[in-house]
Chain A
Amino acid sequence: MRFTLPRIITLLAAFALCAPAAHALEVALVLSQKGGAHAQFAEALNATAGGSAGLRLVNAGNLEDGVDEGLLQRADLILAAGAPAAEAVLRAHARPTLAVLLAHSQFHSLRDRHPGATLSAIVLDQPPARHLALVRAVLPTAGRLGVLLGPDTAALESGLAAAGAVGGPGLVSRQVSTAAELLPALERVLESSDALLALPDPLVSGPAAARAILLTSYRYRRPVFAFSRAYVDAGALAAVFSNPGDIARDVGDWLRQQPGTPPRLPAARSPRHFDVAINRQVARALNLDVPDEATVLARIRAQEQP
């Protein structure tokens, strides 16, 4: 769907009209960008939570076209989509802020720079256990999973190892701190693992690194598991990820549970709603018999049931 200016205006009007209750929780949404994933999030959030009783959702604009500081100033809660919007909000306002559509590492650096702020986030990073659940659901025979950890994802190692210790697969990990280390580390990891997990770290999953990872994994005939649909389109076997609609549902679920002002921010966490993608061509080329997406999704959800 394209987000044209008239659409955005209609959207803004829709937000403005959802403003009846006197003591409703006023949530101001500010976007880093006016289009793309951010606009999809805004639209999905409006669809899921726009009409909820006790909730007043207002659009405070975006960093590209300008932000309505007055709306932000009087909001009970600021919902900031993207790290730049969160950064801008935290610099100017001392309101409770829930950041979304950002990486876990970005959330950490925001918190470090604004230690006094009332800030939390629903990050885009999937929990380590979910990544491993995907590997188990798609490729139950994988005994050893290779992982490259960059500066942004180094902290995940213990979480992955702990999750792997419960139901497998075992972890073969290697730290990478410069781009030059990527290829040798990749070869070492692939030599001793059955599959590779790519994590969202600019050093190991930027466009150039992703290309090198996919080409090398084909050389070793090892499938790659990843964290975005684009990675699957590019050539990973499968990925688990949350799209903007999933995050919007997550935020909507939380907002509806808020009894009134002031909101109690949740602890920063991974999204609860997610989707999976599988590249059939890659599965065929690697001669792998892979279940369909619905089955994989059901298996992961089953593993996440308490």
Chain B
Amino acid sequence: MDRRRTHFRSRHCALFALLGAAPLPALASTDLFFSDLPIVASVSRLPQRQADAPGSVTVIGRNTIRASGARSLNDVLRLVPGFQTFAPSDKPARVNYHGVTDDNDYSPRVQVLVDGRSLHSPLFRGGMNWELVPVALEDIERIEVVRGSNTTSYGTNAFLGVINIVTVDPALVRGVSLSASNGNQGVRDYSVRTGARLGEAGSFRLTMQERSDDGLDHRAVALDDQDWRTRNRTRLLDVAAHFQADSRNQLELQFGRVENRYLTGRLDPYSLVAKATDPLRTADQSSNWLQLKWLHTLSEDADLSLRYTHSEDRLDNSFDHPTLGRVNPTGGRGTRNELEALHTFLPSERTRMVWGASLRHDVLRSPTMLEGIDKVSRDIGRIFANGEWKPLEWFTGNLGLSYEYDSLAGRHLAPRASGAFHLTPDNTVRIGYARAWRTPGTLDYTANQRRSPTRMEWVGNRDLPAEALESWELGYLGDWKDWRMSLDVRHFRERIADRQIHRIRTTGSGPDTVQPVHDLRIRGHEFQWKWQPFDATRLAVGHANIRIDAALTAVGRALADPASGSNFSSDPTKVQLYQDLSELSAPRRSTSLLWMQTLPLGVELSVARYWVREIKWTRNTDTDKYNRTDLRIGYPFSLGAQRGELAYTVQSYDGAHVEERMQRIVERRHWVSLRVDF
């Protein structure tokens, strides 16, 4: 068929001058038939069919986010099989997939992207600070959670999984929306969202939000353990704009800032005197970003995108140390500049190809953590390609390869391959293999932090290898449209070599270091089942069964030898403690259930129920199994032209339980929210 385009540009202004007539709106109508329109369905923007995808994907849409009753992003991920998180207190929230955590990491093994921009930062040990989420939940279009490694598409931090957040297109935000929430535990949230057209060919959206709460209540634990306090306030400004230069060229601009103020440090629970070497104090952290993206549609089968991102993270929790003077532990400034080019095209009817390259320059400054070094730079270059091949109606093959050069971590090649067998259009079996690397954070290599004038607290380990992953998976995807039901099952076997743990002292009085002490075998299965039995009723069940076995690496064995004098070996229970941290970092079983029900008058009721078995987040803490129920009831209303919603949300309806450590009790939290749209 002839795909010729007609170019029919409006010259009506000149014509009307010629005719001496006033422009009539109806005379613009012919343009509708022959003029070009902005290409929305470009090949990279259209989603891949789930049955063709190389791995398991959980997609969380706007309605599910709202129904989950979540106030922060980490809570939403409780719905995804295999993911764990906890209610933050003075301990910032973390999100892990299949466990693998250490005492103070920032979830570095799961990549988090917002519109292509990674939220990982050199300041946060190469991970993501979950208190600095740069997007309001209301501005999320959908979250695509890739369960399983995908470093060939998303870089080394996509070691175990990827959380890919797509924000609402500015063209879909109009008017002004105000909302406020008020609840117990100091919950006070306010937000303003607005969006409008920018000239003839552009749109923008802008969100300002403040969320604050008093965290968890220290009085809920024994007086002995009341050496902490918590309070939290987060402010966000998020602006996104797009300009349609012509039907084939689109520019996107995003910028914003998120800042968080929280309490940190310790005090004596009896005298209430602050601990001199870690006094109770206010700390501030923030993240600024700017992103420019150009999307060029080459043809209906190909497009090209170019993205530049600048981000800067800061943390200041400084205090006057009795012997070291002014210090700023964990504080500093991390900047990241990234340029990425991505070419997506369909070489033939049966193939789809994405390839690209990126360059990244990271700089970390921290007078306290990089004492005497001041600044560390890191350059990373990456090329990658992913291809999909559908030679037969019943088979889809995926192949990916990436090559990365890292000025600190060296060179790494990561391949992946998968084959999906479509037994019927509704039933697919998939087998996949991936090899991946996780390069340690900049500080893991270079830290130089003092504990006292004569002793170091933490020094970098220049010999750290990258963690290596080898993963096999067997998946099944059933999509029964007639039954309005889908089932995704994933059985996995993952081997991680050189799993790294912080806070290991190689000699008795030496500093903490990060050491590759364990080789892990992670195996288990996950499933998610969705069913819409009636128009007004939706059910989603997620379940994960995970077993982790840890064995000592050569480095681990050497450190475990009492002759080494390391803290790892100082007594046999220490070795076991680290072993437990590896093996119990994911609960053996976790289940989630979400029930969404539309009631008469448009009232929306949702109940989320979670069952989580024992888990260990740090060396010296344990968490018992717990159940948690969150529920939300929302009443959408119209008052003349204005629309809005009145909602009531309860988290942890079943009351006190523990999610991170026994000294932090999570109690029932509830709040009322009112939203009015103008």
Contact = CB atoms under 8 A, between A and B. Distances in A.
Interface residues of A, number: 64
A212 B173 CA distance: 9
Nearest to B199: A208
B68 to A, nearest CB: 18
A225 B336 CA distance: 44
A83 interface: yes
A47 interface: no
A142 interface: no
Contacts of B172: 183, 212, 215-216, 219
Contact of B41 (A32, A182, A183, A279): A279
Contacts of A106: 26-27, 29-30
B325 interface: no
Given A210-B37, A281-B43, A243 B6 contact: yes
B29 A212 contact: no
B141 interface: yes
B29 A230 contact: no
B594 to A, nearest CB: 19
Interface stretch (B7-15, B74-82, B370-378, B463-471): B7-15
B643 to A, nearest CB: 7
B407 to A, nearest CB: 39
Given A63-B18, A215-B40, A184 B171 contact: no
B324 to A, nearest CB: 54
B35 A230 contact: yes
Chain B contact residues (Cβ within 8 angstroms of A): what range? 35 or more
A82 interface: yes
B169 interface: yes
A64 B35 CA distance: 18
B43 A207 contact: no
Given A103-B26, A211-B244, A235-B39, A180 B19 contact: no
B171 A83 contact: no
B34 A228 contact: yes
A36 B30 contact: no
Interface in A148-169: 152
B392 interface: no
A124 interface: yes
Contacts, number: 167
B40 A211 contact: yes
A212 B171 CA distance: 6
Q: Which of B41, B46, B49 has the most CB of A within 10 A?
A: B41
A83 B40 contact: no
B9 A233 contact: no
Given A109-B26, A215-B171, A124 B41 contact: no
Interface in B123-171: 141, 169, 171
Given A33-B8, A234-B247, A235-B39, A219 B141 contact: yes
Given A183-B172, A211-B244, A293-B1, A234 B38 contact: yes
Interface string B35-55: 111111101001111010000
A228 B33 contact: yes
Q: DSSP majority for the A interface?
A: helix
B248 to A, nearest CB: 10
B175 interface: yes
B32 interface: yes
A128 interface: no
A75 interface: no
A149 to B, nearest CB: 14
B37 A285 contact: no
Contacts of B169: 211, 215
Nearest to A204: B32
B40 A36 contact: no
Most chain A CB within a 10 A radius of its CB, from B16, B29, B35, B47:
B29
A284 interface: yes
B6 A36 contact: yes
Contact of B12 (A84, A214, A215, A279): A84
Interface of B: 1, 4-9, 11-12, 14-16, 18-19, 21, 24-30, 32-41, 43, 46-49, 51, 61-62, 141, 169, 171-172, 174-175, 197, 200-201, 203, 244, 247, 300-301, 346, 425, 479, 643
Interface of A: 1, 32-33, 35-38, 40, 63-64, 82-84, 87-88, 91, 101-103, 105-106, 108-109, 124, 152, 180, 182-184, 200-202, 205-208, 210-212, 214-216, 218-219, 227-231, 233-235, 241, 243-244, 277, 279, 281-282, 284-285, 287, 289, 293
Given A103-B32, A108-B26, 17 more contacts: A36-B9, A40-B6, A82-B30, A83-B27, A84-B27, A103-B26, A109-B26, A124-B33, A201-B29, A201-B32, A207-B244, A214-B41, A227-B32, A230-B37, A281-B301, A284-B46, A285-B48
Considering the complex of A and B, which 9 residue pairs feature the smallest CB-CB distances, nearest first? A235-B41, A103-B29, A234-B37, A285-B46, A235-B40, A214-B40, A36-B8, A200-B32, A37-B34
10 contacts: A32-B15, A84-B16, A103-B32, A106-B26, A108-B26, A180-B174, A202-B25, A230-B36, A234-B37, A243-B6
